[in-house]
Amino acid sequence: MNTRKILHADCDCFYAAVEMRDNPALREVPLAIGGSVERRGVVATCNYPARAYGVRSAMPTARALRLCPELVLLPGDFDRYRAVSRQIQAIFAELTPLVEPLSLDEAFLDVSNVDRFQGSATWMARWLKEETLRRTGITISVGAAPSKFLAKIASDWNKPDGLFVIAPDQVDDFVRRLPVKRLHGVGPSTAAKLDAMGITTCEDLRAWSLESLITRFGKFGQRLHELSHGIDDREVKVEHERKSVSVETTFERDLPDLEACKDALTPLVERLETRLQQHGHPSLDKLFVKVRFDDFSLTTLETSGHATSRESFVLLLAQAWQRARRPVRLLGVGVRLVSRDARRQLTLPLSSQ
């Protein structure tokens, strides 16, 4: 682990950044990219002036406009965003072939064996930031660390336009002091449960045995144990075939019943449709819902489907909720995609008899 050098590069408010680059008049005004109020849309991203009003991504547009009445709302131009993303990803590839894109605006890079810049991950990160800004006009934040989970935390540490490095000999001290709410997968409900156990930092978490964490959090307890000790051996995976697209939300307060879950479903479906636009409207094979109840039990239900609609997801949700009939802490919706092999078979010409 100590020999690995992982960078996590993340564009700052990417969609809004592209709009501000192309129209400088938008730079100083609160700006959000998202769906309209009439369509019960949600905010895909917003710039930092909008964030000063409390506007956040995944927030219903109606609420964003209540918080900031002067908010400038634009629909997304995903063809333009994808074009800029390709430029940025090409810069990443100049540094290392080991690039794992996570979305249009972020990626992991394994630079462990890169000789440029005397092998310094810090200098590589500075080069990425400078070249991306010079060539595309987009600002990125970069984190450098010996693991993916720490690199991702580092990229968010000094946003916007941040650069934060966690050297191998700093990992243990950094992780000990790290708030547990910064760990991947710890949403508001889990954070509240950890706080009730007297756990606010990873050092607090280390005092609990693996067995006791698994008892309280199920399989996620093992992940909490590993992350609190700085353990994350996941490799950077070069882009592979995407098998699914999904979105999910962990709620600050558990949803008490099925009707509350149905109300929460609409913005999730809107976000899913936005994600599918980002990926170029891929061919769909199945629809699915994911429900985690307040006792941390998890259920997933899917059905065949070639188009997303709220009605289809409502039917799935109703069936999934019946499996436990408990308050819900996490809700997700997604689609399975038709594989490349299947698409290829569908387009093969029929052989003549």
CA–CA distance, 160 with 298 (Å, rounded to integer): 35
Q: Is 10 annotated as belonging to a binding site?
A: yes
Catalytic residues: 106
CA–CA distance, 285 with 244 (Å, rounded to integer): 9
Residue 154 DSSP code: H
**Tokens for 122?**
């810090």
CA–CA distance, 321 with 290 (Å, rounded to integer): 10
Alpha-carbon distances of 66 from 50, 53, 95, 142, rounded to whole Å: 12, 10, 44, 33
Count the Cβ atoms, other than its own, within 10 Å of residue 81. Answer: 23
Those residues whose C-beta lies under 8 Å from the C-beta of residue 190, and which sit 6 or more positions away, are: 217, 220, 250
User: Which H/E stretch holds residue 108?
Assistant: strand 106-110
Buried b vs exposed e over 199-235: b needs ≥16 C-beta within 10 Å?
bebbebbeebeeeebeeebeebbebbbebbebebeee
Q: In the sheet that 99-103 helps form, which strands lie side by side, from edge to edge?
A: 99-103, 106-110, 6-11, 140-145, 163-165
Count the Cβ atoms, other than its own, within 10 Å of residue 79. Answer: 9
Binding-site residues from annotation: 10, 105
Q: Which residues are annotated as a binding site for Mg(2+)?
A: 10, 105
